[in-house]
Structure 1
Amino acid sequence: MVRESILLALVALPTSTLSLHTSPGLPFVINTWGGPFTAATDAAYLALINSATVSALDAVEIGCATCERNQCDGTVGFGGSPDESCETTLDAMIMDGTTMKSGAVAGLRRVKHAIAVARAVLHHTRHSLLVGDLATQFAVENGFVEENLSTEESKRRCEEWRARNCQANYRMNVEPDPSTSCGPYKPLPLDQSALAWAVAQNPEPPSHDTISMVAIHSSGAMAAGTSTNGASFKVPGRVGDGPIVGSGSYVDGDVGGCGATGDGDIMMRFLPCYQAVENLRRGMSPTEAAEDAVRRMLRKYPDISSGIVVVNKKGDHGAAASGWTFTYAYRGGEMNATAVVTVPPLTAKDEL
């Protein structure tokens, strides 16, 4: 996972990025991460610029699908983040900021185009979330093709992980010792000594990235979406924050939108994107809204890794992060290139 800051000299950035919180104009696209993720920003923005018929929802789907096809840094789409059984599964969500309707899939198996399947849930059901093999069945019924989501690289990574005795992993309070063994595991009695042992002995597992995107059409209509292949070497069946409305992303066209990435199992407990958009509604700036959402998590989890981008309905934007130096990408108005912004992390000390 890319945790390093992406260093860009100011002279290399479009002039509009020097005022980091001011809208460059509409249409506008913003998403988590820079680097290879800027291909998604460009694809969504150019779709909005080049066709009058492309909607904000279209742009979000186009942008997220770009990373699903290209794999961006290997943590979106097929061929990345295998689970304990070496299978890649996908999570995605898309949301309409006008109707507040959303569609999502989680633990999607054997179908590459997760964001498109999520949009099919939005348009062709009254539901919000479909999961697992039954989400795959729905996808096939809607014309999607089943195919293997593993690659030689993802298989190699998983075999190397197994050769390291499955280190690190997400198991705790089990036997045999998850810090030295691949299992199979059996639960231990839940007492304080077992919990302390698990926390002390099992190192933090490898983490991951996610693409979360918000698009604003020139008309002002907004949409948001998220796509990810989840946490590397997760327990099979695990679903993170990506497909959860208000956690991975959220949008209300009357106010603004938010996209998030990070420790999804923790972040989903706080619905940080819902919180950030409600902060906008209360009158906070995008940066203030993002920082407040991150600080709420830091107070309970001082070591959490998180990154949140927030944009109001005009295209003013900001971000906040913890645990890593975060980057986000945006493009809007008449910008001739995507700009990347580096966001230093807040820390638990900031809360003292």
Structure 2
Amino acid sequence: MYSPLCLLILQLLLLRHYGLGRHLKHKQSQKIHSVLVSTWNYTDANLQAWSVLKQGPRRTRQAVIQGCMACQSPRCGRLLGGHYGPDERGTLSLEAAIMDGRNQEFGAVAGMEGIRNAILVADAVLRNTHHNLLVGRGASDFARSMGYKVEHAPNHNTNKVVGSWNLGSCQPNFWRDVHPPPRTQCGPYTPLPEHLLQRPMRQEYPITQGDHDQVAFLALDSEGLFHVASHSSGARFRIRGRVGDSAVPGAGIYADNEVGGAVASGDGDVLMRHLPAFLAVEAMRAGRSPAQSAANVIQRVLKYNTEFNGAVIVVNRWGTYAAACAGLDEFNFVVSGGKGFLSMARLERVKCQERNDVVDGGPKGFFTRKPIKKGY
């Protein structure tokens, strides 16, 4: 005859066994919903990527590459279309990255001049080298060795953009603590002496229609495979040699087949410091939902950068997605597929978080002009 204590232990073991069995059965029966998500409102590019993904499983890599290539035209705005995103010397360069969710293999290029298909070169870095990131002239040399041809130099439109910027006293720019004052004059600049350092507020940039210099794509197929990719023409009038978030793993893109994936867009120099795409995936690994993960990441960024403009989109391993943003009235992104298979390339919107809801203790920024928050 069993003692009361033994009976209690037996009951607990039975409950644990059958409860775990039901949990595993539920997980096994849960269906993965293929989905293609992209930042901003570029429905044509999303639809092109989705047309590749829906051809069958194991097409995630080709899908995100197709999306990035589709955005190398004016359909994704004048900056991504080329010739409008020069650095302060008038040089055009591109950056791109791709990540495989199976093993987090990553390939990227940055500051690459004269080569149009940056995402294909980034993919070649992943597949044909033991490196993760190639930059500058080395990236261009690698691209040529892979068979990609050098294309034309900056055209008249690029020269016109840089000329107007110079006539406007080189505003905005990315310099600080230099002489002459970078807020009112062009360079060349020299460092200020230590006793004159001011640590001015960070200059933030409003997000306006057609001014997106970066786009990201996330693809999940019915077998639970993720690929994420990002393509950027670089921030306009950046200091020559600058690398943006598109080329940094965990900043603009991140994926892990066991958990999910995320893509981010916004001020790249802020994103690189906080790795929001990586943080969002790790938040899901810790048990948070996509919506909770996205919101927590934006709150963390705002805590240290109160004037941040940008967004993150998070997708779990089953295809459930959510987005969060700051600095805009709302954030637009495009989705194809997903649960229920609603209309393809559908434009979705999420209302951005109010800054007052976040601890106001981080560095503040300023705008050179009134930010435009609608119409993107």
- Report if TM-score (shorter chain) is over 0.5: yes
Q: What SS does the aligned partner of 2:193 have?
A: coil
Q: 2:53 aligns with which of 38, 44, 48?
A: 48
CA contact (8 A) 1:298 1:347 kept: no
CA contact (8 A) 1:78 1:150 kept: no
Q: Residues of 2 paired with 1:238 and 1:206: CA distance?
A: 20
Residue 313 (structure 1) shift: 1.4
Pair 1:144-2:148 in alignment: yes
Structure 2 spans left out of the alignment, 5+ residues: 1-29, 360-376
Pair 1:30-2:37 in alignment: yes
Cα RMSD after superposing both structures: 2.0
CA contact (8 A) 1:79 1:88 kept: yes
Matches within 5 A, 1:19-168: 26-34=33-41, 37-49=42-54, 51-52=55-56, 55-70=59-74, 72-76=76-80, 78-148=82-152, 150-168=154-172
Q: Residues of 2 paired with 1:107 and 1:24: CA distance?
A: 41
The superposition leaves residues 92-131 of structure 1 with CA deviations (integer Å, 9 ceiling, x where unpaired) of 1000001210100011111011111100001100110000
Q: Residues of 2 paired with 1:229 and 1:345: CA distance?
A: 25
CA contact (8 A) 1:329 1:341 kept: yes
- Report the AA paired with residue 300 of structure 2: R
CA contact (8 A) 2:114 2:153 kept: yes
The superposition leaves residues 18-59 of structure 1 with CA deviations (integer Å, 9 ceiling, x where unpaired) of xxxxx997331001111xx2122101101122x347621110
Residue 155 (structure 1) shift: 2.4
- Report the AA paired with residue 88 of structure 2: E
Q: Residues of 1 paired with 2:278 and 2:203: CA distance?
A: 31
Q: Residues of 1 paired with 2:293 and 2:130: CA distance?
A: 31
Q: Give the 4+ runs in structure 1 shifted more than 6 A.
A: none
Q: Residues of 2 paired with 1:126 and 1:290: CA distance?
A: 32
CA contact (8 A) 2:110 2:133 kept: yes
CA contact (8 A) 1:24 1:332 kept: no
The superposition leaves residues 245-290 of structure 1 with CA deviations (integer Å, 9 ceiling, x where unpaired) of 0001000011111111101101110110000001111111111111
Q: Residues of 2 paired with 1:72 and 1:260: CA distance?
A: 17
Residue 220 (structure 1) shift: 1.8
Residue 241 (structure 1) shift: 0.8
CA contact (8 A) 2:53 2:219 kept: no
- Report the AA paired with residue 43 of structure 1: Q
The superposition leaves residues 177-208 of structure 1 with CA deviations (integer Å, 9 ceiling, x where unpaired) of 112221111111245x5324x43xx8545765
Larger RCO, structure (CA 8 Å, separation 6 or more): 1
- Report the AA paired with residue 336 of structure 2: R
Q: Please name the residue that 2:356 is paired with.
A: 349
Q: Please name the residue that 1:17 is paired with.
A: none
Q: Please name the residue that 1:264 is paired with.
A: 268
Name the CA shift for 1:219/1:205 in 2 (closer, same or farther; >3 Å). Answer: closer
Return the TM-score normalized by structure 2: 0.81
Query: What is the aligned length?
Result: 323
Q: Residues of 2 paired with 1:205 and 1:212: CA distance?
A: 19
Q: Residues of 1 paired with 2:74 and 2:33: CA distance?
A: 26
Q: Residues of 1 paired with 2:358 and 2:269: CA distance?
A: 22
The superposition leaves residues 131-177 of structure 1 with CA deviations (integer Å, 9 ceiling, x where unpaired) of 00100000000010111363433322111111111111111111111
Matches within 5 A, 1:296-335: 296-324=300-328, 325-332=330-337, 334-335=341-342
Q: Residues of 2 paired with 1:162 and 1:95: CA distance?
A: 38
CA contact (8 A) 1:176 1:183 kept: yes
Pair 1:286-2:293 in alignment: no
Name the CA shift for 1:286/1:53 in 2 (closer, same or farther; >3 Å). Answer: closer
Q: What SS does the aligned partner of 2:273 have?
A: coil
Q: What SS does the aligned partner of 1:98 have?
A: coil
Q: Please name the residue that 2:3 is paired with.
A: none
Most deviating of 280-289 and 51-60: 51-60
Q: What SS does the aligned partner of 2:227 have?
A: strand
Q: Please name the residue that 2:175 is paired with.
A: 171
CA contact (8 A) 1:77 1:114 kept: no
Q: Please name the residue that 1:255 is paired with.
A: 259
Pair 1:219-2:223 in alignment: yes
Q: What SS does the aligned partner of 2:173 have?
A: coil
Q: Residues of 1 paired with 2:355 and 2:302: CA distance?
A: 6
- Report the AA paired with residue 354 of structure 2: T
Q: Please name the residue that 2:239 is paired with.
A: 235
CA contact (8 A) 2:311 2:324 kept: yes
CA contact (8 A) 2:31 2:318 kept: no
CA contact (8 A) 2:57 2:221 kept: no
- Report the AA paired with residue 118 of structure 2: A
CA contact (8 A) 1:106 1:131 kept: yes
Q: Please name the residue that 2:17 is paired with.
A: none
Name the CA shift for 1:285/1:151 in 2 (closer, same or farther; >3 Å). Answer: farther
- Report the AA paired with residue 64 of structure 2: V
Q: What SS does the aligned partner of 1:75 have?
A: helix
Return the TM-score normalized by structure 1: 0.87
